[in-house]
Structure formats: structure tokens, C-alpha cells
Homo-oligomer: A and B are copies of this chain.
Amino acid sequence: MFTGLSAFPLTPLVDDHLDEIAFSALIGRLNRAGVDSITALGSTGSYAYLSEQERARVAHLAVENAGDTPVFIGVGALRTSQVLAHATAAQRAGAAGLLLAPMSYQPLTEADVFELFRTLSEHTDLPVIVYDNPGTTHFTFSLDLYRRLTELPGISSIKIPGVPALAAEAREHVAKIRAVIPEHVSIGVSGDASAAQGLAASCDVWYSVIGGTLPELALRITRAVQAENTTEALAESARLAPLWELFAECGGSLRVVAAIAEQLGLAQRSCLPLPILGLDHSDRARVAACLIRLGL
């Protein structure tokens, strides 16, 4: 189940409330596009900003609109008891798996993070994805912590940050992780710009930001690698370089993907939770030009 393309949709807001219509439509679109799974309430889904009630509602809408596509739900929170409450709600909504990042305010130790995952794995029957995203959590996993966590029952996948740009280095990087974790645990690459390289380097799944809004683009890369046509996958990723440049230069993938969704009419203007401001006028013009250049 934790293979192929897992698409991370936005959770669009309108006037600081869930835009249920836009969110449901995004999910239906992903199901029709044929992604392998949908991860709602990832970082791209603004999980960290939403209330317990909003998150339960999003989980419900995701499952309701996903058809037969498995839905994973992000359950991260600053406090362990909040994580468990989100997990209970996700399970009740019909989630097929849970995604957990060690969100931090006070810096966390390895012991804190191990206990957090151990507590969740004891609390739920659902498979759990370990979400390693140091750019937002400010926690860095060691290989040894990967090893200890994947010995816990139910830990089924690790979402790793982007891999090195050079093929040999990417392979070595993924092989190092593979060497310390059990075979049944999948490795998923994130960092869209290096995803083709990551899949080519034996990652099992792409946890994809762009796949949540422009699923066809991400599917083309994923299916090429699955057909062992690495050259085509890398060429397709290179074609999307203008997009990866926007991610790097306009304050990160979330703000850019939100602007794309707004530009394409998939979300209303200012769909991100404040204080996160959307892109300014000139960056929006860059996004619009990029979409035209890519034939969207």
C-alpha cells in the first residue's frame, strides 16, 4: 500500500474556515487521476494549523471522496495526547494509514520521539508512516532511530527528505537507510525536485506535494520509473525545473502550490491559514507564466 505515488492535497480555507467544497473536489480529482494513495493533512494539508474538529472533518471528507483510493491521515501535534486523539478520529473516518511527524516547539530528544511513536503504535491498529521533515519539525532522525522505530509493530514506511542530486549519491543514501530497516518497511521520498532521482534510487513511494494538485505530472514520473524507464522519468522531472525553481525561490512548495491551485480555480484566493500570506503579485505572475510554459 505504501508504494507508487502518494498525493498530498492542500486543505484550502476560505475566510479562515475549511473550504469543504474545494477540498472534496481536490480529493475526487486525485481519485480520478489514479494516484496510488492520498495523504490528507500532511504539511501541504496544513495539519499543524487546524483544530481537532477541523481535522476530524477533513479526514471524513477525504475518505468520503477518495473512492477506492487508500487515504492516509497526518496525525502530528505538539502533544502526545493530541496525536492520539487525531489518530482515533482518523481511524473512525476510515483512514488506511497514519502519518506522524515529530512536531516540536521545545527541541525534542531521540528518547522523546521514540516514546511518541511507541505510544501511537500501541494506540492504533493502523499502519504508521514515520514523517521525517526537519525543515518544519526541526528534529533530525539518526539512522539508529530509523532502525529502532521500524522495529515497532505497525511502522510501515518512512517519508524521507529529498535525496542528493547525483544518481550515485542518491543510491548510496537510500541504500544506507535500507540497510538498517526491515524489508517490509517502505522508503518514501519527498522533496519533489529530487523525487525522480529518489525513485530511481530504489525509493518505493513518492510522497508528493505537486501530486496533490497536479497529479498527472507526478504520475508521469512515477509510472516511468515503475516501467524501469528512468531516463524518461528524469527527463520529465527536468522539464518541470521551472516549477522546482519556484519552490526554491518563492518561500517553499506550500505557498507555490497554493498559488497554483488558486490560479487554476481549485481553491479561492488566500487559501492558506494566516499568518502564512500567499505569494505577492510578482511571484504570482511567475507562477502563472510557469503554468503556461508547462502547458497547464
Interface residues of chain A, those whose CB is within 8 Å of chain B, are 16, 43, 48-50, 78-81, 102-103, 105-109, 111-113, 115-116, 119, 135-136, 138, 251-252, 254, 273-277, 280
For A102, the chain B residues whose CB sits under 8 A away are 275
Contact A107 B81 (CB under 8 A): no
For A111, the chain B residues whose CB sits under 8 A away are 277, 280
For A103, the chain B residues whose CB sits under 8 A away are 105
Bound: A277/B79 CA distance, A: 11
A48: contacting residue among B78, B81, B274, CB under 8 A: B78
For A48, the chain B residues whose CB sits under 8 A away are 78, 105-106
Closest 6 pairs between A and B when the two form their complex, measured CB to CB: A48-B105, A80-B274, A116-B275, A112-B275, A49-B79, A80-B275
Given A112-B277, A115-B277, 20 other A-B residues pairs in contact with their CB atoms under 8 A: A43-B105, A48-B78, A48-B106, A49-B78, A49-B79, A80-B273, A103-B105, A106-B252, A106-B254, A107-B135, A107-B251, A107-B252, A108-B276, A109-B251, A109-B277, A111-B280, A115-B274, A115-B275, A119-B274, A119-B275
Residue of B nearest to A50 (CB): B79
For A251, the chain B residues whose CB sits under 8 A away are 107, 109
Chain A contact residues: helix, strand, loop or mixed: loop
Contact A79 B43 (CB under 8 A): no
18 contacts between A and B (CB under 8 A): A16-B81, A43-B105, A43-B106, A48-B105, A50-B79, A78-B273, A79-B273, A79-B275, A80-B273, A80-B275, A106-B254, A107-B251, A111-B280, A112-B275, A112-B276, A113-B275, A115-B274, A119-B275
For A108, the chain B residues whose CB sits under 8 A away are 275-276
Of the candidates A43, A102, A136, the one having the most CB atoms from chain B within 10 angstroms of its own CB is A136
For A115, the chain B residues whose CB sits under 8 A away are 274-275, 277
For A50, the chain B residues whose CB sits under 8 A away are 79
Of the candidates A79, A275, A280, the one having the most CB atoms from chain B within 10 angstroms of its own CB is A275
Of the candidates A79, A102, A273, the one having the most CB atoms from chain B within 10 angstroms of its own CB is A79
A81: contacting residue among B113, B135, B274, B277, CB under 8 A: B274
A106: contacting residue among B112, B113, B119, B276, CB under 8 A: B276
For A252, the chain B residues whose CB sits under 8 A away are 106-107
Bound: A232/B276 CA distance, A: 46
Residue of B nearest to A81 (CB): B16
Bound: A79/B11 CA distance, A: 14
